Amino acid sequence: MTVERVKDRLSAEIGELATISDADPPAVTRVVFTPTDLKARAWLRARCEQAGLAMRQDPIGNLFARWQGSDPDAPAIGTGSHIDAIPNAGKYDGVVGVLGGLEAIRTLQLRGFRPRHSIELLVFTSEEPTRFGVGCLGSRLLSGSLSADAARKLVDRDGNTVEQARRNAGLSGELENVKLPDDYYKAFVELHIEQGPLLEQHKVPVGIVTRIAAPASLRVFFEGAGGHAGAVLMADRKDALCAAAELILTIEDSARNSGAPDTVATVGMCDIFPGAVNSIPSRVQLSVDIRDTNLSRRDALLHALGNACDAIQAKRRVAIRQELLNADAPAECAPAIVEALSKACRKLRLPSLPMVSRAYHDSLFMSRIAHVAMLFIPCRNGYSHRPDEYASPEDIANGTLVLAETLAALSA
């Protein structure tokens, strides 16, 4: 059976790719442009070449594997995701969309299908922000959402620039040449694990994404006054950490009371100086992540955060400064692609659930230059970005076959 063949080959390949890692199993770590990342890319390239796909790589390392259609001048149908992984991650995030995309193409080849529009598997560089602090580096450059000059200014913790890192990885060409033309893709479809619990809770094998939430990321810096924990009286204190704690709770309260469940806000990092048990914190840095599917609602939360900073600064006699890192717009998935996914589910007799993607993906930035949609499959307990991340072989195979049907319909 097709399902069994797809299930067996994908399970084997996902397992094999997971062994190319800087972490001990079951954890997976693959950081962009490291020797491990380059080894994984070579492994994947070999499988694409075995499938007869034409390969190319752009100056930032985005990898394109094309099944040429009968009309070479027609815009392509794209699919794909990423294979880089944050430290101590699992083996399914991104990988399901890449290997599932490859298997969807191989499935159509075995059926004898002949596409009119070329079908292209796209493996994005550095979807994860692990090394350079910016997520979706490859798709941001592909779509023009990040300029080449801005990309060159990105630096990792060791002081290496993007330019140095990519050159050391053997990549050539200029970053200005990464952006794709607006008519390059007719449609782009990304298969991904849900990274949430809804599909599992509803016992539905397929989620069809209609909207993709977008993040705003910022750093907030607090400058107070240090001193001995025993010698400075409470009335005289300018405690930077207390000010930060007040802002953290204000951010949480603002997100909870936005009026919509799609508003989420997270303070994921808190750096405290000097960090001694008997010393009043004089400096604090927070990282803040705010997301929503509605741009005005998301930006209202940013405005509320700014007002809160002003109030806390005056109340606690500390200096507060914000640094906005990015504020991306959310995306609406293309109705025609959503309908093609729905039709594929009906053909395969698989129930589906319309969904919002609260995590953002490369498809968010591809939406700037192409019509996009996403296809989710369940993951156990909604766990992701951790070693016990898991998607069943059956669910992966089902998602892959829905993708294959959709690619066929869009490329005909």
Tell me how far apart the alpha carbons of residues 179 and 139 are, in angstroms, rounded to a whole number: 9
The 10s digit of each residue's pLDDT in 304-321 is: 999 999 999 999 999 999
Architecture of domain 2-213+330-411: 3-Layer(aba) Sandwich (3.40)
Position 367 scores a pLDDT of: 97
CB 251 within 8 Å of CB 244: no
Q: Average pLDDT of the chain?
A: 97
Task: Sketch the domain layout of the chain as residue ranges.
Answer: 2-213+330-411, 215-327
The DSSP element (H or E) to which 228 belongs, if any, is strand 227-228
CATH number of 215-327: 3.30.70.360
CA-based R_g, the chain, Å: 23
The 10s digit of each residue's pLDDT in 240-287 is: 999 999 999 999 999 999 999 999 999 999 999 999 999 999 999 999
CA 216 to chain centre: 14
CA distance readout (Å), 28 to 219, 231, 379, 380: 28, 48, 17, 17
> Which among 335, 373, 371 has a CA at the least distance from the CA of 184?
371
Position 322 scores a pLDDT of: 97
Position 214 scores a pLDDT of: 85
Helices vs strands, H then E, count in the chain: 12, 17
Position 125 scores a pLDDT of: 98
Average pLDDT over residues 231-238: 97
The 10s digit of each residue's pLDDT in 56-93 is: 999 999 999 999 999 999 999 999 999 999 999 999 99
Average pLDDT over residues 339-353: 98
Position 1 scores a pLDDT of: 53
The 3 state secondary structure assigned to 82-101 is ECCEEEEECCCCCHHHHHHH
Reported as a pLDDT band with limits 50, 70 and 90, residue 223 is very high
Position 3 scores a pLDDT of: 85
CB 272 within 8 Å of CB 313: no
pTM recorded for the entire structure: 0.91
Tell me how far apart the alpha carbons of residues 191 and 391 are, in angstroms, rounded to a whole number: 13
